Structure 1
C-alpha cells in the first residue's frame, strides 16, 4: 500500500510543476537521479548485474522500456493537459488491464464476471475521458492527456504481467538497478535528441531539486521494490488490486495541494471502474471461499 501512496504523490507533484519542467526533463532527471542513488549497488554487483543483462538482454530491455522509459514518460505527458484527479482515476483501471493482458499472454482464464467487470471498467474510463459527455465521440474533442494516461496504464500493466519472465538471477534491488541503468541510457538519448543540454539541466535540477529528491526516493526506489515484492509474493493480478487506492490518496492530495475538485463525471467514472474491479477480483474471491 505504501507504493500506491508514493505513486499518488508522484501524479500530484508532476501536475503541480507541469508549467516549470517538461515531461522529458522530469522523467530523465528522475531516473538519472535514481541511477546515481543506486550506483554503489551497481558498482558492487556490477559483474552479476551486467552478466544478467547480457544473458537476458531482450526481456531486460523490454522491462526498462515499459516500466522506466515508457510508463513514466506517458504519465508526465498526460499530466501536461489533464488533472491529477482524472489521471489517477483512469490509472485505477490498471487491475483490469492486468487481468486482460494476463489472459492473452499467460493464458489465464477470464470468467464471465471478469468479462463484465472489464466492460464496466472500460466504460468508466471512457466516461472519464469524455467527461460524461458522449456527444464528444462524434466530434473527437476529448483531452489528449487522458489518452496518454491510458497508454501509460497499458504499459505498466504489460510490465507487471511480464514480471512472470523476470530473470531469477537477480534479487529485487539488483533487478531494479539493471532496468534503471538500461532505461536511463534510453532516456539520455531522448533527452539529448530533444535538444536539451547540460546548462539547461543544471537550471532544472537547481530549481526543482525537492521534486527530484522525492521522486528518486519514494516513487522510484521504494515503490518499485515494494511492487516487485508484492508481485513475487501474491502475483501480478492481486498486487494490481491495490492500485485502485490511488484515486483515494491522490484526490485528497490534489484537493490539498492543487485545489482540484471532484466533478459528477469523476464520481460516475469512479463507480463504474470500482464496480468493475469488484466483479473482476473481489466477487470472484468471495465465491471461491463460499464453495470451499
Structure 2
C-alpha cells in the first residue's frame, strides 16, 4: 500500500471520530437532564469552550479585529442559530424524548438544508432531492408517531421530538448562512467569536432562570460538552473536509443515528424498537437519495 493510500484511509477515521463525539454528546444530553437545567448546561458548555480558546485566540482576534468588525453581524447571527437555538432546544428536548429519537432527527439536517437553501439561495433542488426529502420526512413522522400514525394525529405530537425538529430546522439555517456568506475569516477565529456571542445571548436567560451549581453529578457532562463536541469534533470535522472533501465527509453524518442508538442502548438502556428500524431505514434511504445528482441527458444530433 502506498503512502498516499495510507493517508486516505487514516483521513477516513476523522469524520468517524467527529460523528462518534457528537453522538456521544446526544446521549450525554439525555443523561444529564436530571442533574442540570438546559440553560445551565448550555451556558457552561460554551463558557468552558471560551475559556479554553481564549489563551490561544484572544491575540489573534485582536490582530484581525478589523475583519471581525466587518463581519460581526453575520457572526452574531451564526452564534444565535448554531449555538443557542439549535443547542438550547436540543438540551430542552432531551427532557421529553429519548437520545435515540434525537439522533434520528439530527440525521434530518441535510434534508432541511436543501429546502432552506431553496428559499434563501434560490437553489432549486433536483428531482432526487425532492423525492428523497419527502421520503425522509415520512420516515421522521413514523418515528415521531412511534409506529402509530393515528396516535400521533390524536395526541398532537410529542413535545420533545417537535422541539428537536425545530432545533434541526434552525441548524439548517446555520448551514445555509455559512454557504450564503462564505466569510473569509479563519475558522478558529470565526468559532471563537460565535461562542462569544452565544454567551451574550445566554445572559438574559441566566439572569432570569439562574444557574445550577456544578457538582459531582454533572461536572463530567459539562466538561465533555465544553471540550469534545464544542472544540475537538468541529476541528476534526474541518480537517476531514480539507483532506477528503466536503461531499465524502458529509456522508458520515448518516452514521449518527446508528452511533447514538448503540450508545443509548448500552449506557442509558434505551430500547431500539421496530419503529426505530423502519423509520430509520426510510430516513436514511431518503437522505441518500436526496444527495444524488441528476445526470445530464445528452441529446443526439441527427445529421440531415
Q: Name the TM tier (shorter chain).
A: 0.7 to 0.9
Deviation, 1:49, is 5.0
Map residues 108-187 of structure 1 onto 2, 5 A cutoff.
108-164=123-179, 165-168=181-184, 170-187=185-202
Q: Does 1:17 align with 2:32?
A: yes
2:157 and 2:209 map into 1 onto residues whose CA distance is: 27
Deviation, 1:17, is 1.4
> Which position in structure 2 is the counterpart of 1:263?
273
Deviation, 1:245, is 0.8
Q: TM-score, normalised by structure 2?
A: 0.85
Deviates more, 1:65-74 or 1:205-214: 205-214
Whether contact under 8 Å (2:144, 2:152) holds in the other structure is no
Classify 1:271/1:143 alpha carbon distance in 2 versus 1 (closer, same or farther; 3 Å).
same
> Which position in structure 1 is the counterpart of 2:57?
42
* Among 273, 276, 282, the residue aligned to 2:286: 276
> Which position in structure 1 is the counterpart of 2:299?
none
Q: TM-score, normalised by structure 1?
A: 0.88
**Residues paired across the two proteins, number:** 279
Q: Does 1:222 align with 2:232?
A: yes
Q: Does 1:194 align with 2:209?
A: yes
Deviates more, 1:159-168 or 1:237-246: 237-246
Classify 1:179/1:74 alpha carbon distance in 2 versus 1 (closer, same or farther; 3 Å).
same
1:235-280 deviations in whole A, cap 9, x for unaligned? 5x76543321101111111111001111111111111101101211
> Which position in structure 2 is the counterpart of 1:98?
113
* Among 204, 221, 228, the residue aligned to 2:214: 204
Deviation, 1:46, is 3.3
Classify the secondary structure of the residue corresponding to 2:293: helix
> Which position in structure 2 is the counterpart of 1:252?
262
Larger Rg: 2
Deviates more, 1:20-29 or 1:95-104: 95-104
Whether contact under 8 Å (2:61, 2:189) holds in the other structure is no
1:135 and 1:256 map into 2 onto residues whose CA distance is: 31
2:65 and 2:208 map into 1 onto residues whose CA distance is: 26
Whether contact under 8 Å (2:48, 2:227) holds in the other structure is no
Deviation, 1:93, is 1.3
Whether contact under 8 Å (1:52, 1:167) holds in the other structure is no
> Which position in structure 1 is the counterpart of 2:96?
81
RMSD between superposed Cα atoms in Å: 2.1
Whether contact under 8 Å (1:176, 1:224) holds in the other structure is no
Whether contact under 8 Å (1:95, 1:243) holds in the other structure is no
Classify the secondary structure of the residue corresponding to 1:162: helix
Deviation, 1:171, is 1.1
> Which position in structure 1 is the counterpart of 2:20?
5
Deviation, 1:173, is 1.1
Classify 1:207/1:51 alpha carbon distance in 2 versus 1 (closer, same or farther; 3 Å).
farther
Deviates more, 1:154-163 or 1:26-35: 154-163
Task: Provide structure 2 residue ranges, at least 5 long, that are not aligned to the other structure.
Answer: 1-14, 297-304
